[in-house]
Structure 1
Amino acid sequence: MSLISPNKTITISLSVKDRHVTAEWYSSMLGFETLYHADEAGWSELQTNTVGVTIGLGEHTKPAPGNCVPVFGIADLDAARQNLEQAKVKFDGETDVVEGMVKTATFYDPDGNALMLAEDLTGGS
Structure 2
Amino acid sequence: MSVVSLDNTITLALSVRDRHASAKWYEDTLGFQLLYHFDEAGWSEMQTMTEGVTLGLGEQADPAPGNSVPVFGVADIAAARTALEAVGVRFDGETETIEGMVSTATFYDPDGNALMLAQDLSKEG
For the superposition of Structure 1 and Structure 2, which TM-score range results when normalised by the shorter chain? Answer: over 0.9
Q: Which position in structure 1 is the counterpart of 2:45?
A: 45
The separation in 1 between residues aligned to 2:43 and 2:2, in whole angstroms, is: 29
Shift of 1:65: 1.0
Identity of aligned residues (%): 66
Q: 1:4 offset after TM fit, Å?
A: 0.7
Q: State how far apart, in whole Å, the 2-side matches of 1:61 and 1:89 are.
A: 30
Partner of 1:67: 67
* TM-score, with length taken from structure 2: 0.98
- The secondary structure found in structure 1 opposite 2:62 is coil
Deviations 1:13-70 (A, max 9, x none): 0000000000000000000000000001100000000000000000011111110000
Quote the residue 1:24 is aligned against. Answer: 24
| Number of aligned residue pairs | 124
Once superposed, which parts of structure 1, at least 4 consecutive aligned residues long, lie more than 4 Å away?
Answer: none
- Is 2:84 the partner of 1:84? yes
Q: Equivalent residue for 2:99?
A: 99
In structure 2, give the amino acid aligned to 1:51: E
| Equivalent residue letter for 2:46 | L
Equivalent residue number for residue 55 of structure 1: 55
Where do 5+ consecutive residues of structure 1 fail to align?
A: none
